[in-house]
Structure 1
Amino acid sequence: METRSSSNLPPVATEYNGIDRNAFIFGWTPQAELWNGRLAAIGFVAYLLWDLAGYSVLRDVLHLIGY
């Protein structure tokens, strides 16, 4: 397997702004959207595992407000 430095990336590894797609760049950039999606997926899976373990945020909130 060939390894490359981030300054020598193939054309498919760069986004519209010409920077590595996996770079953690702050602001409204294509990289930020990729990281947002990744972190959202991790959060969703974490909530599903939490719910399967018997802890339900939704059930607890409904119980607190009287439903």
Structure 2
Amino acid sequence: MEKKEGKFGFTNYAEIWNGRLAMIGFVTALIVEMNTGHGVLAQFGLM
């Protein structure tokens, strides 16, 4: 019997997508900071 892995919770599938989205967010934050001269927290008015 084959074991099917779900797509929610701490599975390899979910962790791979979490890592990919985190990398995209980090690069986006760097690009925004380079273009505006303000960090992400300053953009949101937290600093």
TM range (shorter): 0.5 to 0.7
Identity %: 46
- In structure 2, runs of 5+ residues without a counterpart are none
Give the number of aligned pairs. Answer: 39
Partner of 2:19: 37
1:57 to 32, 40, 44: 40
Largest Rg, 1 or 2: 1
- In structure 1, runs of 5+ residues without a counterpart are 1-16, 20-24, 62-67
What is the TM-score when the length of structure 2 is the normalising length? 0.65
Structure with bigger helix share is: 2
What is the TM-score when the length of structure 1 is the normalising length? 0.49
